[in-house]
Amino acid sequence: MTGTGGGQILRGMPATPSITLRPHQPGDIGWIISRHAALYAAEWGWDIRFEALVAEIGAQFIRAFKPGRECCLIAERDGERLGSVAVVQVNASTAKLRLLLVEPAARGLGLGATLVAAAESFARDAGYTQMTLWTQSCLVAARRLYAGRGWVLGDSEAVTDFGVDLVSETWSKAL
């Protein structure tokens, strides 16, 4: 498959027999923003400032998109979006994993692991030697996924963001 603007994204990697991954298309970043905002408000009580942050990340991704060096993958089944992940350039050797999301109806299928694996594969193929990500300690399933794939917790800091007390974390992985 090739992504918007060209560049190899994956090699036909299905998430499950009925779920496929595809490059982002017009409307997908808006969906990612909306779903992050709605799910994190419902599940974690995060306020509208989180939506603003995701909107800024999404807008920056669209404005500065570097085909072949960056990607956004959408997991879907029968045309229904079930998840997302993005890879963005930090510098020549480091990529950042962003916008990981798995819809509640698709949780437990291994989709999160498939999305992270696809992001890592893309980053490796794009020539990056390291990846980093930012998350919160309360996101236990995501943290377990990262640790299980060899990501290492670096910095953590107690913060009050999005209207709640959180522990912000930075993780990294050598590719």
Amino acid at 63: R
Q: What is the CATH number of the domain that holds 31?
A: 3.40.630.30
Distance of CA 126 to CAs 23, 62, 76, 115, 157, Å?
A: 15, 18, 24, 16, 31
| pLDDT digits 0-9 by tens, 96-133 | 999 999 999 999 999 999 999 999 999 999 999 999 99
Say if 6 falls within a structural domain: no
Global pTM reads: 0.90
In this prediction, residue 10 carries a pLDDT of 47
CA-nearest of 58, 108, 103, 53 to 77 is 103
First to last CA, the chain: 22
91: in domain: yes
How many domains does the chain divide into? 1
Nearest one of 39, 59, 37 to 48, comparing CA atoms? 37
Q: Is residue 4 part of a domain?
A: no
Residue at 169 is within a domain: no
